[in-house]
Each structure stands twice: as structure tokens, then as C-alpha cells.
Amino acid sequence: MSTPPSTAEIENILVAEISRMFPDVPAVNAGTPLQSLGLDSLRLFEIFVLVEKRFGESLVDGPITRGMLENPSALATHIAGRIAAKAA
């Protein structure tokens, strides 16, 4: 069984992928508010698909809160928590 990714690893992947989605934004980092990027439903769906493919976590099978979508760091923390809960 492989070691689950750390919150920092998840965060780095999310920042890199979200940066690719928004090439016109000069610098996306872990604290960049997703709303400031012009996040629409299509981009949000792309992020959800990315999370499911990379981490095996479906974000649509539970409540989606504004807090978890605040920035890449908050989303990474949410994903890491779900992964840890499954492993326990």
C-alpha cells in the first residue's frame, strides 16, 4: 500500500494544475482566492475531475462548502482530511 500524499504535496499539485487552467493569472499560489481567478462552473468541474483522477476523491459525494473552495490550500486540507479518514 502506498503512502497517501501529504497536504503540502496535494497543495503543490493543485497550485500547478490551477495555474495551467488560468494561464493569464501571473502567479497562483496556495493562498490565491479561487474566486479572484474568475472560477466558473466549468473550471470548478475541471478541478473536481482533477481531484478524482489524481487522488481518488470525489468531491461531489459530500457537501461542497465555500470554505473548502476558498483557495488551493483550503482545498488541499479538505482532500487530505478525506484521504486520512478513509485510511483510518
- All domains of the chain, ordered by start, with CATH? 7-87 (1.10.1200.10)
Residue 7's pLDDT is 96
| Contact by Cβ (8 Å): 84, 4 | yes
Share the mean pLDDT of the chain.
91
Question: Maximum CA pair distance of the chain?
Answer: 40
- Residue 4 pLDDT grade (very low, low, confident, very high; cuts 50, 70, 90): confident
CA distance linking residue 18 with residue 73, whole number of Å: 12
